[in-house]
Structure formats: structure tokens, C-alpha cells
Structure 1
């Protein structure tokens, strides 16, 4: 006896349609995001590691709608052009969920219609409509009608005071600050002028758990943990947390004659 084919049309199938097995999978479309998810600010000084700073920024710019995005950057004027080119050389095409995100599409249109200066990847690396964007004009994120915008605003400074002014005039409220500079003194000078709590110096994605208990107790403390120097201190009535790798050039270079170093024997990091 012949068997009925699987797709045989019967009276039951006509009069009792089933809707529990959709033919296509439905994927939710990205919605317009109205609030930032803990955005961050970056300062880049002329004596900082431009390569590391550029790498960290470019990586974050390819996923601008993930938590902890770097929203704004202030770069010392003397290295501004070099830094921008360093970041741009690391650009590649963003993924479709970023290029087609409503916020990103709207921001791109506002940039084009507003005549604002901005920088995208070279054409051989990414098309303009699917590239990370650095806004170099003198505008803040308030220029855009939606936030988060999906782009990074960049301005230049020549003094610590000017750098702090840029931070104070930019929006949104920043969750943390990343500082790239060889001189740790600039970090403390900057911290007294801005209201942020967390400072990451020459690093990114460092766990703050080792120092959090002391910050919660408002207790001044410095400690070394997993290759990083952590500290809590009060500056201008605000308690801060500062972290930086203690294996970098923040440690004074040895001044012993070549081949005659005694620092390890005397348990010093350098000649005193």
C-alpha cells in the first residue's frame, strides 16, 4: 500500500491551521538606547604609551553599545595628530548589529547633515557607513539627539587645567577615567580638578576588588596586588581609587653601573 507523503494536504490541515511552528526564526531588532551604560573618559598625554592607548580605544570603539564604552577622549595637543592616525590604522568594519543600530544610523545622519568634522577608517579597511567614528569637531555628545551615540568625541589640551575643563564640559556622567602618561604626578594633579572616583593609569579592565573594601570604609590605603599598585585617598573632599601597573616605567630605572647592579641585594627597586 502506498504511504502518504509528509506534505500531503488533508482536510484537517486546511481547517485546523497550526501556528506553533513558525517557518522563520524571529530575532529582536536592536532598540534605541536612551541611557549610557557606565561610560568612561580617556586622557592621553604626550609622554604616555600612545600605542597601548590607541589599541584600547580602537577595541572599545568597535563595540560602542556594550557596557563601559569610552565615550570621550582628551589628547595633549603635541601628539594629537599622531594619536588619531594610530587609532585610525586600527579601525576595521564594525559588525552588522553595530552598523544597523538605530543610534548609530541616526548619529551618522546627524554628522552628515550638521557639517561636523569626523574621522572614519580608510576605505580599504571599512566602508564609511560601517566604520568606527571619531568626532574631532568642537561638539559634545549633547549635539546628538540620541544617546549613547556610538561614536567618540576627541578634543586636545595643552595644560592640566584645560584637560579638566574638557572633562567638565562633556556629557554624559562618566563612570571612570583612563589616563595614559609616564608621570604619575599628572594623575594626582588631574584628580584634584575632576569629580570622578575611579582612575585607571596606563591600564584598562583591571579588577578593583582588592581596594574596594578600603574605599568603602573611607580608609587611605596603598597595596600591591597581581602586578598592580592600588590606593585610596581623599582629594578635595572626594575619595578616589587609583590603580596602575607597578612594573612599568613608573618604577625608577636602575642607576647602577652596567653589570654592577646591587638593587636586588639591598632590596631596593633602584639606587637611593
Structure 2
């Protein structure tokens, strides 16, 4: 047992300020439900040093102004230790040097003539990549890029050079949102949802077998696109349930394989 010490571990204590830990991407398409879309983003802005934080946002040009206005009205002051972290202070200085456009909390002066960033405010930095502020380490800020067509997404993603593990894409027109999902070189894509457990299709993905599953009021699928297997998840309406009212859970559903040595979809004999 290590000796007792009153000294608290260095914030945040999980190494997420030294290395990207499963960062995610947020994509806002036309007519997206932004109130739902920004929930994980707000958490990321308040405490940016943690696993699975949103590191970057792609916003359709028609949604940009409304998105920025909603974020300014929804932000909260950062966790006090995050606001005093050297990464954040260094990034604030670089933003000022670059004269970059930001979305942040503003405090007006005494006569409401001019406003400046509120101390400890989260920051969304517009049209700059993460490598301007921290390279391979988390920077404590979220970067934002504007796009016009889904075909622009791959170049934006490559320029960010962040090891994203998933993307959450939000929009009303399913065809457009799905097109955006296929443009991203991403293993996991959530459509109009986020952080849904992938248990129903995980084994199919590991066996590299395209498959579709309806479970937990979501549509799960494994697809093979441009030489890569991907998992895509989106909410699905349920128009029928068993007569006894029982709703199957992941644990109750028949597993995709009968044994460890059999592939998903193997027929029973």
C-alpha cells in the first residue's frame, strides 16, 4: 500500500490532458435538432479533459448562425481546474495571437460598449484545426468548421488530424445525413443519437459480417463501404411489440453465434 499523502492527484488524473482518449466528432446538418445534438458538446466544454469528449464540430452553413447563438446561450463556466490548466491558458494566448473567431461567454464593460471573453469561459474556435493549439495533445477547446456539401467532410476530417473513434451526425433529412455518414472515414457513426451501446452488432462487426439488427428502439447495422466495415446506429420507431408487453433487451435477444467458434448468422441444425 502506498504511503498516505494529503496531496491531491494532478488534475484531471486520468491522463486525458496528455493524450486524446477516444475523442468524438459532432456534425450538424440542415434542420438538425440542435437542442439534443449539443448535450455531449456542453459537457465537453465544461470539462474538456476527459475520455470521449467532443473535439470538433462540422456545421452546415445554413445552421451556423443559429448554432453559435444557441451555444452562447447554453454554455457554462468551465471546471475551475480546467480553466487554470496550462493547456487552456496556452490556447487562449494562441487564439488571441491568431485573432481567431470564437464562440464563448462574453462580459460587457461598464457602459455596455464593448464585450470581452468571460474569465474561465469555454471556447469554440472557428475555422482553425486542433494542431494550431496543441498538436497531438488535447487543447481544452473545440474547433468548428463550416461546410456546404457532404463531399467537403473528408478533407475537413483529414485536416483535423485527431484520432476520432466515433461521429454523431444530426439532421432531419435521412438521405442527406446518411450521405454525410458515408463520407466520413469513421468506424462508428451515430445518426440523430449518441453513445448508444453497440452490443447488438458488436460481434457481427468483429466477424466482419454485414448485418442489421433492431433493438432498444434503434436500428443497428454493420456495412462494408469503400474497403472498410462500419457500424451505423440511428433511432427507429417501433410499431409492434409482443402481446404481453415484454420488450427484449440485449441480454434477452438470441446471440449472433451459437458458440465461440461459429460465425454470426450460422444456421442451427
TM-score norm. by structure 1 comes to 0.76
Q: Which residue of 2 aligns with 1:27?
A: 8
User: Separation in 1 of the partners of 2:178 and 2:66?
Assistant: 26
Q: Which residue of 2 aligns with 1:41?
A: 25
Q: Verify the 8 A CA contact 1:168 1:194 in the aligned structure 2.
A: no
* Structure 2: distance between partners of 1:140 and 1:170: 5
Corresponding residue pairs, total: 227
Matched, 1:173 2:163: yes
1:115-150 C-alpha deviation (Å, 9 max, x unpaired): 2221211338x96231110101x3101101452001
Q: In terms of Rg, which structure is larger?
A: 1
Residue 78 of structure 2: SS of its match in structure 1?
coil
> Is contact 2:82-2:88 (8 Å) kept?
yes
**Aligned match of 1:196 in 164, 167, 186?**
186
CA shift in 2, pair 1:51/1:224, >3 Å: same
1:103 paired residue number: 87
Q: Is residue 55 of structure 2 the alignment partner of residue 74 of structure 1?
A: no
Whether 1:143 aligns to 2:124 is: no
CA distance in 2, matches of 1:62, 1:221: 38
Residues of 2 paired with 1:191 and 1:55: CA distance? 20
Residue deviations 1:186-230, cap 9 Å, x none?
Answer: 343234333111001111121111110010111111111111111
Report the equivalent of 2:123. 133
C-alpha separation in 1, matches of 2:224 and 2:177:
14
Q: C-alpha distance in 1, partners of 2:30/2:199? A: 30
- Cα distance in 2, alignment partners of residues 21 and 189 from structure 1: 56
Alpha-carbon displacement from aligned partner over 1:85-128 (angstroms, at most 9, x marks no partner):
1122111111212112221121112112332221211338x962
State the alpha-carbon separation in 2 of the partners of residues 219 and 183 from structure 1. Answer: 28
- Whether 1:112 and 2:96 are equivalent positions in the alignment is yes
Contact 1:30 1:102 in 2 (8 A): no
* 1:83 equivalent in alignment to 2:63: no
State the 1:30 CA deviation.
3.1
Q: Report what 1:52 is aligned to.
A: 36
The 5 A counterparts of 1:254-265 are none
Q: What is the rounded CA distance, in whole Å, between the counterparts of 1:191 and 1:54 in structure 2?
A: 18
**Structure 1 segments of 4 or more deviating over 6 A?**
none
Point out the more displaced range, 158-167 or 210-219: 158-167
For the aligned residue pairs, the C-alpha RMSD in angstroms reads: 2.4
Give the gaps of 5 or more residues in structure 1.
1-19, 252-262, 265-272
